[in-house]
Amino acid sequence: MDRTITPPLSDEVVESLRAGDRLLITGTIFTGRDAAHKRLVELIDKGEPLPIELRGQIIYFVGPTPPKPGEVIGSAGPTTSGRMDAYSPKLLDLGLKAMIGKGLRNEAVKDALKRNKAVYLGATGGAGALLAQRITSAKVVAYEDLGPEAIRELQVEDFPVVVINDMYGGDLYVEGRKKFERKVDL
């Protein structure tokens, strides 16, 4: 059964999530890919303020296509999350509670999820047009010069995701593989 969560996320909400949980997000989330993440981390390293508040928030790793006339946003499918692995721990340490993408995360990110009571969520790759239908508004809030990789504030309604990595070390990719592995006697 799907459960609805609304950002900003509290520790209590994150504590209740487990790898494999299906969620629907309703509320405000932010977008950001590697170029934006690099700029955010550069600001953190310089001790300068960030253009968005990270505490309790969700960042969706997406670079949407331009909208057609009458559309809020173009195709908005997840990008490969591993490209953000070098930056994610610092953002999590500042209070980011969830990231949405596709693909595996490295051990440093998984450790940061545990340390900061945060989760990694998966969105279905290849379904960008369908996911865009769950986005009711989109506006650039930072780094407009990055085009599709600018940071956007999205309003979403019933945006479907699955918990891939929870704060307890649960990993849906590992658990799923174990569930369907065939044991072969040699």
CATH of residue 174 = 3.20.130.10
Residue 17: which domain range?
Answer: 3-180
DSSP 51: S
Counted domains in the chain: 1
Is residue 186 situated within a structural domain?
no
DSSP letters for 39-59: HHHHHHHHTPPPSS--TT-EE
Is residue 72 situated within a structural domain?
yes
| Kind of pairing between the strands at 98-101 and 58-60 | parallel
What is the Cα–Cα distance from 110 to 112, expressed in whole angstroms? Answer: 5
Is residue 185 situated within a structural domain?
no
DSSP 82: G
Residue 109, number of CB atoms within 10 A of its CB: 22
pLDDT for the residue 170: 97
Is residue 10 situated within a structural domain?
yes
Is residue 40 situated within a structural domain?
yes
Question: Which member of 14, 17, 36, 37 is catalytic?
Answer: 37
For the question of whether the overall pTM of this predicted structure is more than 0.85, the answer is yes
Tell me, yes or no, if 37 is annotated catalytic.
yes
Beta bridge partners of 138: 154
pLDDT for the residue 186: 66
Is residue 150 situated within a structural domain?
yes
pLDDT tens, the chain, 186 aa long = 589 999 999 999 999 999 999 999 999 999 999 999 999 999 999 999 999 999 999 999 999 999 999 999 999 999 999 999 999 999 999 999 999 999 999 999 999 999 999 999 999 988 899 999 999 999 999 999 999 999 999 999 999 999 999 999 999 998 887 777 776 666
- Cα-to-chain-centroid distance, residue 157: 15
**Pick from 153, 160, 161: nearest CA to 136:** 153
| Residue with token string 């340490």 | 93
